[in-house]
Structure 1
Amino acid sequence: MVRHLDMSDVAVVLRWLLLYGAFLVAALPIARLLFPSAPDDGAGFAIPIATVVVTMVAFYVGQFRFGPWTALVAVAALVALGAVGHRLAQRRGLADYDWNRVAGAFAVFAVGFGFVLALRSMNPVMSGWGGEKFLHTGLLNAVLRAEALPPEDMWYAGKPVRYYYGLPVFNAVAAFLTDTSVEYVHNVALAGYFGTLVVGAYSLCGWITRDRGYSRRLGGALGVFFVAFAGNAVTAVRFALGQLPRDLAVKWGRAAFNLNRSDYPQILFEQSSLSSWGWWDTRYVVEGTLQEFPLYSFVKADMHGHTVTTGFLVLSAALAYAYVQAPATARKRRAGLLFGGLGAVAGYFGVTNTWSLPSAVGMAWLAVVYAGPHPATLVPGSVGERLKAVAPDRDESRRSLVLAEAWRTVLAAVVAVGVGVVGYALASPFLLASVPPNDGIGLFPPRTTAAGVLLIYGALLALFATYLFTRFRAVEDGEATDVLEALVVTALVVAAGALVGDLGAIVVLLPVVAGAWLAMRFRESAGFEAMLVVGGVGLVLAMELVHAKVHPFELARWNTTLKVAIQGWVFCGLAAGPVAAILVGDVRAAAPSLDEVRQSGAATATTAVSVVLAVVLVSSALFAPLVVATDVVGPYQDGEEPSLNGYADHRDAHPQEVAAMEWFEDEVSATQSVLWMERETGTPTFVEKPGLSRGWQNPVSTLTGLPTVAGWFHETGYRGDDPYYQRVDDVGILYETTDARSRAVLLDKYDVQYVWVGPLEREEYDLASLGDDPGIEAVYRNDAVTVYEVHHDELTDRTE
């Protein structure tokens, strides 16, 4: 029997596709102005531009009032900016859009959009297990219910959220515009973010490759592959281990499973067999770290900022490329791309994933260093001339060259700081009030061995090393030994890294970053892709040197690697697409005839490059088909019905609780309507059992967005351990005490209006006297749930 999504699912998908299509058209004039030389008229970047505009406008307007009308204001702002952009484009002769290529860009977006929809349709549930979908579901519900931003924390009543709320703001706006039930928003929005990543990668990598004189389509396709569909090298290594004799596999396989696990070597045999392979353990390679790549994160399907803002990292790289292409005389354009373009993206990161804000600043820094015009030319008049004269570009001596490069780098850093200031200012309503506590930056955390970094990034590093060697050591006139010598040098560097213990990753990564920097500055044959190698591999290297001192504090690199590794992968992937396309083109052009092979062995170099390309592509390509086979094809063959409804499983598994939640939402909505009519604001607080573990915990606050006194243990990272656990203790007393006066004091302390008693509360607490207190009235009952309303004026006197 052929199974399909039901009509309600299809209608939701079509409405969202229509919304994204409208966003693309509205933002196309802005994209055209920013990227006038892009082969698709900038269409590949129009959707992320529209998303940035809508998010930031809704974020600012929402500080005063939030709701459906906020969405209309945000869209009106986008349309107005698009109209202004169109007039400017007309004046500059840029309004002649190639609609075939615009449609092609939207088709590429739709491919990425549909891919994630296929994944989510087989596992749509907003589960509390194996991730943080409950957190993101609760945040979305809290934003949808908010009267103004920031929303009240659904897991810490009476306080605003201390977590990125820019993403649920956009998702809520899209839900308002498409009239989408909250049950569908997470899954469809996630697909939209993946489509944004895919179309951006295709457009930028195709653009770079075309400008380098190679196939745009091949570069774009390879860019999409490396950025959005490739996986780390460890998957191939684990399957290779499975081909060894069992004893040898166990002896040599531990480095590929460097986990705090008690089930080694069982996990080795599971991960090396097609019948038992699972994607979950792919990010667990280096102990104490979580190093994800984009496809892994989208398969995991949490609405984490580090996952869904990856497409905007691509936008930041595209703005950097546009800056590099701008002539020295276009000072205002260059400044606009930096402070208006990258500054706005940095601000967007500030409210959606602050970890990426430095990456936008870093793109600005690298672009100003790499671009032909001197950084001093950004400053008008004689001041700029004097700045440039401090260490002018000249090549009479090595010393003058070093001084000139150092001065260029320092000035570029000053410019980048300015971009960061713009981004911080744009995101300041969030950054000054809602950032979770942290202890700043730490130096020299536990580091990674050479084996560890190669297991994750080995395929990409091999590709970059090969490319850089071909830039520095031209392969022509039979000089095939150059490539072979370079490969030998690489092998020696890696071997040295393996011998120096926890400095191994630094020994492996630093030569690649240094080589890419030198190629970026001094090799015309190396283009913008070399700059992207510096950015991507540089971020991976940075994780070996610094870390953010954030929760969980006992795991120094846990959150740093989770949030930064994926950024490094995106920039590496953006470099890998053009690099692979260029190498493929070079191999084709240099492929010798049979006579030349017989006479000189000239095919050695091209063969070596071809082998590297083949190994890189095969080892990187394993993850995606395995995921499709296990997460889409497998469930489909087992008879599961596709759906995008994230709440359907909850209705099946917890029907009485969900029915009570629906009544509860209606009751609270009616109460809020009365408060609004009386010119009072606020969402009534209720109490349920705090979620001290994952799973079906705090389901009411999560699935409704209504604030409870204490929610999931995640709040320890946002509020600190002591304040959170004080609330947990108070909730326990509130449910179990037999002293009506003590319960009344706590009900007053947190202004509790309702008390929820469901299966979780009955299992955890002794509730014998709860319904006996004056002022506490049961207002709803079914077989699983009782809801009590609190009448504070009738509670036992608290002053006695």
Structure 2
Amino acid sequence: MEYIIIARWLIMYAAIFLFGLPIAARLLPMTSSRGVGLAVPIGLLLISFPAYWVGHLPGGWGLPALLAGTVVLVVSAGLAIIDFSKLRNEQKRIQIRFTQAMRPSRRAISDTVVVFVASFAFIILIRAFDPAVIPIGGEKFLDFGLLKTLSRSSSLPPTDFWFAGEPVKYYYGGHLTTILLGWLTETPPRFAYNIALAGYYATLVTAAFEVSGAIAEANGHARRVGGTIGAFFTGIAGNLLTAARLTVASLPASLERQATGIIAQQTGDSAQNINTALQSFSYWDASRVIDGTINEFPLFAWLNGDLHAHMLSTQTLLLGVGIGYAYYRTSRYKKRRRQILVFGAIPLTAAWQAVQNTWGFPSIIALGGLAILVAPTHPVTLLPWSEYPREAPRTNSHIDRIYYEIIRIGWTVGITLICGAIAVGFAAPFLFETATGGGQRTIEFLAPTMRSSIAGLLLVHGAFIIVILGYLYTQLSDQLSADSQSRARVVTGSILLVGGFAVLTWWLNLPVIIITLPVLVAALIGARITHTVGYEAVLIIGGAGLITLVEIMYLNEQAGPGRMNTVFKTYAQVWVLWAAAMGIAIPGLRRAQTPPNSSSSPSSPSSTEQLSSEPDTSSSPTATVTATTQADSPTSIGENLQSAELFGSITQSIISVVIACLIISTSMYGVLAIGGHLAAGPPPGGPTLDATEFVDRAHPTEAVAIDWIDNRRGQPTLLEAPGTTRYHDDSRARATYSWYGNPAASLTGVPTVAGWNHEVGYRGQAAYRDRVSDVDLMYTSNASTRATLFDKYNITYIWVGPGEQARYDNISFSMNAVSVAHHSGNVTIYAVDQSDFPS
């Protein structure tokens, strides 16, 4: 094990944490923790985004970019730590210290450190047992290739190692951060790959602990309880598929067959496949629940070990949630602070998210809009010409209330669009250069036959749905039973919302509405009408909205068939949002059902005090009846209280059992998957974090040649067989997702002419196919054609290994300017001297 490298990374994260601490305190001074769990995400953003911008300058990527990011973080921390309230004109000096209101508690700091270190160590253990960046079962060749090409590039965007001579057309922000951290700790990519995975996981879980704990504490619950629940559902819990399969497998044979048939009908899978899955556990199955989609969750993703964009961006998503919460908690009279948050912090975070994972860019903007919508302060007060906060109408007219809410929504949408436009400006180099390409992408409506079944949706989201619906019901029920005015408003609002969604359901044939409609309506009513639901409504509505959206439309692209990639990248965000919401919902659900006890409530007088305060009316005939009623009332009240306590105790017990069952059922995947992972044992040489250790062991005849290529300076162009078996007679069973698809370019970052057919999605089929044809000609055509194409693509080296032999059979380069540069095992590498070709 590489313990020295691990120690260097922990020291680096500690430094980032310390510099991010005062900035987090400025962001969330109203919380007892002062946002301490968001210090690392803030620090990573402030290092990475300036480095990204400086990296676009000629020769700017490297030391200049690293220095720029480091300076921005240090200066930002210094400005945050200045107590400007102590800056007095007559003294002309600045007090550089925390105010008492901004100083985080030692308990909050210790909690955060414990959560981060434990999460970091957990993934280090998992990756040490399976560190290899093998091509099968994920995007590891893509992810590692991005690290290597970033480490070789001198400016941004980096060269596409699968499309030589052209820049990367993929979101690479998380990989950029990984390389920066690798430079800070002097860690080569082969080790940085797995250690960065542990760091991103720890940052995500810690951010979930912070967000859940802060909101739960504001709602009157214990911060540690809410934070721990949020961290558990974010980093440990899995979906309900494993528990469902274990339950079905435990049934008698006849019932098991019936259950298998129902599952097959609902999921579109075959009964035979389901029977096979019941007999043996595979960690992979839980990510492929809904037919034609990918349904990953964090534990699966980190167990699988891709250093992929949808994983590296989750901590930035929660940072966006934290910024929205800061706006939600800011006083209406602190206009400048609210403007900075909406028109500065949110766009900046969303812009960096675009570079990390473009799928999350609109999500952060939308979450910011939801925060503006549910916040007590009217959104129009964000505008410069609005001087006074607008209040909700105090009239009982439902029409006035509806009109007010419609106007408020309109202003929210407008301000959110302005926020989005600013974010586009921040991310302009990426959105208008890297994100644009020749790939065909269209937004299309989903055919009814492609939509998810109710059973599939419940297996993926069921644990969240049960708790969130129960929480929203308890939050609304007491308020509506006691407040007739609120009840009338809710009835009116519900009729409008349900009616609108019913029309939409009928028109589009949307089964998902059965699940998401109650959540959306209840959360919106709780946040805007009854005010019994707080900022957690943003998390709940955000998740439900994304689930509904991908059942209506999808991005049609070459990254998988149909809506596979759309659901994949969207559900990763849904899980994070709803997992954080669980940290508020579960404590709120249990507290709402606590048996009433009048004597323990300091805010309400006892029944005896209430009776003694009644006026004496015994002198009238009516008074006799009244007095009798009053005399009997203590007994009645006592009986009612006993009944209420009994009912509350029973309800509380049921809720506790349900919550315990959900926690156990969502833990089953982790127990089996992690147990099997560790039982398989580490690599033969012992636990390691070396991502390329497997090459020497599994592919010894090519390992030396790959090392030789890796030791070349700069980014010479390498000719390899294309990463596709199409467009040519090819004896390879497959190229993409196999070792025979561009191992040299993917493991070294030295660009090749035509890599994996992922490039179809980035460049378009015609551009990729033209390159594949040219590669085939360079391996098989005459000397004249070869020389022309060598010059066109500026070929420096030619790789001839098993993949090339399988595609082209006999290969020879008996021509001027081409000579053997290296030979080892079953690989020959030719060097091309361009100067020897005739002009």
Identify the match of residue 63 of structure 1 among 56, 59, 78: 56
Of 642, 645, 648, which residue of structure 1 is paired with 2:693?
648
Paired residues of 1:306 and 1:566 also in contact (CA < 8 A): yes
> RMSD of the TM alignment (CA)?
3.2
- Asked if 1:408 is matched to 2:453, the reply is no
Matches of residues 321-340 of structure 1 in structure 2 within 5 Å? 321-340=325-344
Which residue of structure 2 aligns with residue 484 of structure 1? none
- What does residue 486 of structure 1 align with? none
The alpha-carbon deviation at position 43 of structure 1 amounts to 1.5
Name the residue aligned to 1:49. Answer: 42
Deviation at 1:498, TM superposition (A): 13
Counterpart of 1:571 (choices 550, 558, 577) is 577
Q: Provide, for residues 639-661 of structure 1, a one-character-per-residue CA deviation record: whole Å limited to 9, x for no partner.
A: 88221111111111223422122
Change (3 A) 1:502 1:454: farther
Matched residue SS, 1:404: helix
TM-score by length of 1: 0.89
CA contact (8 A) 1:26 1:78 kept: yes
Amino acid at match of 1:566: A
Q: Is the 8 A contact 2:779 2:811 kept in 1?
A: no
CA distance 1:438–1:198, change in 2 (3 Å): same
Whether the 8 Å CA contact 1:205–1:219 is kept in 2: the answer is: yes
Structure 1 pair 224–285 and aligned structure 2 pair: CA distance change class (3 A): same
Higher mean Cα deviation, 156-165 or 752-761? 752-761
Tell me the equivalent position of 1:665.
710
| Gap change, CA 1:442 and 1:591, over 3 Å in 2 | farther
Trace 1:229-308 onto structure 2 (pairs within 5 A).
Answer: 229-253=236-260, 256=263, 264-273=270-279, 276-308=280-312
Which whole-Å deviations, capped at 9, do the CAs of 1:586-625 have from their partners, x for residues lacking one? 4455599999479965544334433432332222222222
How far off its partner does 1:327 sit? 0.7
- Matching residue within 357, 361, 364 for 2:365: 361
| Cα distance in 2 for residues equivalent to 1:299 and 1:498 | 37
Q: Is the 8 A contact 2:474 2:592 kept in 1?
A: no
Measured after TM superposition, the shift of residue 272 of structure 1 is 3.1
Query: 1:776: which partner in 2?
Result: 818
Q: Secondary structure at the match of 1:39?
A: coil
- Counterpart in the other structure of 1:488: none
* Contact 1:202 1:224 (C-alpha < 8 Å) held by counterparts: yes
Give the whole-Å Cα distance in 2 for the aligned partners of 1:476 and 1:545.
33
Unaligned runs of at least 5 residues, structure 1: 1-5, 479-492, 673-682
Contact residue 593 and residue 648 of structure 2 kept, 8 A:
no
Which is worse superposed, 523-532 or 21-30? Answer: 523-532
Q: Structure 1 residue 124: deviation in Å?
A: 0.4
Deviates more, 1:512-521 or 1:247-256: 247-256
Q: Give 1:485-500 correspondences, 5 Å limit.
A: none
1:76 aligns with 2:71: yes
Q: Is the deviation greater in 646-655 or in 624-633?
A: 624-633
Conserved 8 A contact 2:134-2:140:
yes
Q: In 1, Cα distance between the equivalents of 2:774 and 2:284?
A: 37
Aligned residues of 2:795 and 2:832 also touching (Cα < 8 A): yes
Question: What secondary structure is seen at the aligned counterpart in 2 of 1:474?
Answer: helix
Distance (Å, rounded) in 2 between the aligned partners of 1:139 and 1:250? 47
Q: Which moved more, 1:499-508 or 1:466-475?
A: 499-508
Partner of residue 625, structure 2: none
Alpha-carbon distance change, 599 to 12 in structure 1, aligned in 2, over 3 angstroms = closer
CA distance in 1, matches of 2:597, 2:299: 34
How many angstroms apart in 1 are the aligned matches of 2:772 and 2:513?
44
Q: Distance in 1 between matches of 2:817 and 2:179?
A: 37
Aligned counterparts of 2:320 and 2:511: Cα–Cα separation in 1: 31
CA spacing shift, 1:599–1:791, aligned 2, 3 Å: closer
> How much does 1:67 deviate?
1.3
CA distance in 1, matches of 2:670, 2:56: 41
**2:783 maps to what in 1?**
740
Rounded Cα–Cα distance in structure 2 between residues aligned with 1:499 and 1:288: 24
In structure 1, C-alpha distance between the alignment counterparts of 2:162 and 2:823, rounded to whole Å: 24
| Alignment partner, residue 182 of structure 2 | 175
Deviations 1:118-156 (A, max 9, x none): 111111001101000000100110000001000111010
Partner of 2:750: 706
Flag the structure with larger Rg. 2
What is the CA–CA distance in structure 1 between the aligned matches of 2:597 and 2:547, rounded to whole Å?
A: 35
For 1:109, the equivalent position in structure 2 comes to 116
> Aligned residue for 1:443?
445
Q: What is the CA–CA distance in structure 2 between the aligned matches of 1:258 and 1:31, rounded to whole Å?
A: 50
Secondary structure, aligned partner of 1:686: strand
Q: Which amino acid aligns with 2:441?
A: D
Give the secondary-structure state (helix, strand or coil) at the position aligned to 2:54: helix
- Alignment partner, residue 420 of structure 1: 420
| Residue 727 of structure 1 pairs with residue 734 of structure 2 | no
Q: Distance in 2 between matches of 1:285 and 1:599?
A: 42
Q: CA deviation at 1:734?
A: 1.2
Q: Which amino acid aligns with 2:445?
A: L
- Alpha carbons 2:162, 2:752 under 8 Å: kept: yes
| SS of 2:136 mapped into structure 1 | coil
Superposed displacement of residue 249, structure 1: 3.0
Residues 1:558 and 2:564 are matched in the alignment? yes
Equivalent residue letter for 2:766: D
Does the 8 Å CA contact 2:268/2:291 hold for their aligned counterparts?
no
Q: Identical aligned pairs, as a percentage?
A: 31
Distance 1:528 1:308 in 2: 25
Change in 2 beyond 3 A, CA 1:598/1:291: closer
TM-score, L = length of structure 2: 0.85
Deviation for aligned residue 1:474: 2.3
Find the residue that maps to 1:635 and give its secondary structure. Answer: coil
Indicate the residue corresponding to 1:791 in structure 2.
833
Structure 2 spans left out of the alignment, 5+ residues? 87-97, 483-498, 599-637, 725-735
1:451 positional shift: 1.8
User: Cα distance 1:429–1:768, how it changes in 2: closer, same or farther (>3 A)?
Assistant: closer
Shift of 1:104: 2.9
Give the equivalent residue in structure 2 for 1:612.
658
Q: What is the count of residue pairs matched by the alignment?
A: 757
How far residue 500 of structure 1 moved from its aligned partner, in angstroms, is 12
| SS of residue in 2 equivalent to 1:641 | coil
Query: AA paired with 1:706?
Result: V
The C-alpha deviation readout for 1:645-691, integer Å capped at 9, x for no partner, is 1111111122342212222233x31xx5xxxxxxxxxx321101112
Task: Kindly indicate whether the alpha-carbon contact (under 8 Å) linking 1:441 and 1:547 is maintained by their aligned counterparts in 2.
Answer: yes
Partners in 2 of 1:617 and 1:113 — Cα distance?
22
Q: 1:26 to 1:552 in 2, by over 3 A?
A: closer
- Code of the residue aligned with 2:248 in structure 1: it is L
Closer, same or farther in 2 for the Cα pair 1:503/1:611, shift >3 Å? Answer: farther
Q: Residues 154 and 701 of structure 1 are in contact (CA less than 8 Å); yes or no, is this contact kept in structure 2? A: yes
Q: Partner residue of 1:529?
A: 536
Q: In 2, are the aligned partners of 1:238 and 1:272 still within 8 Å (CA)?
A: yes
Work out the CA distance in 2 between the residues paired with 1:524 and 1:664: 63
Residues 735 and 766, structure 1, Cα contact 8 Å, conserved in 2: no
Give the Cα separation in 1 of the matches to 2:427 and 2:477: 46
SS in 2 for 1:329: coil
CA distance in 2, matches of 1:639, 1:777: 38
Task: Find the counterpart in structure 2 of residue 195 from structure 1.
Answer: 202
- How big is the shift at 1:634? 4.3
Q: Tell me how far apart the structure 2 counterparts of residues 459 and 100 of structure 1 sit (CA, whole Å).
A: 31
Equivalent of 2:477 in 473, 476, 490: 473
Q: Per-residue displacement from partner, 1:52-85 (whole Å, max 9, x unpaired)?
A: 1111011001101211342122112211111111
Contact 1:270 1:277 in 2 (8 A): no
